[in-house]
Amino acid sequence: MLPVTDSALVASVRAGDVDAFRTLVDRHGRMLFRVAHRVTGNKQDAEDVVQETFLRTHRELHRFELRAGVGTWLYRIAVNSAVDHLRSRRREAEWPEGRRTV
C-alpha cells in the first residue's frame, strides 16, 4: 500500500475526515515544535504556537492551494504564529500593571 500524501490528506480533511487532520498533526507536529521552539526559545511557548498553528491551519484549509507543499505552508504558519506570540508577549510586558484592560 502506498503512503498517503499530504495533498491527499488535505483533500480528505476538506471532505470532513477528522482522522486525516490527525494524521497531518502527527506527521508535522514535531517539525513545527522545533521551528516554534527555535523562534520562541521556550518549550511552553512553542507548544502554544504549535497548537495555534494547527488551529489556524484548520480554519484556513480551504485557502490552501494543492500545488504548494503542505509542509512548507505549515512551516510559514508556524513561523508567523511564533512571531505573533512574541509580539503579544512584548506588548504585555510594555503595559504598566495599572493600565492593562481586560
Q: What digits encode the pLDDT tens for the residues 32-64?
A: 999 999 999 999 999 999 999 999 999 999 888
pLDDT bin (cut points 50, 70, 90) of residue 73 is very high
The chain-wide mean pLDDT, for the chain, equals 89
Tracing cell 512571531 back to the chain, one arrives at 83
57 in Cβ contact with 10 (< 8 Å): no
Give the residue extent of every domain in the chain: 6-93
Neighbours of 59 (CB within 10 A): 9
In CATH, the architecture of 6-93 is Orthogonal Bundle (1.10)
Give me the amino acid identity at 78: A
Count, in order, helices (H) and strands (E) of the chain. 4, 0
pTM of the complete model: 0.82
Would you state the torsion angle of the CA atoms of residues 6, 74, 62, 18, taken in this order, to the nearest 10 degrees?
A: 60
Q: What digits encode the pLDDT tens for the residues 21-32?
A: 999 999 999 999
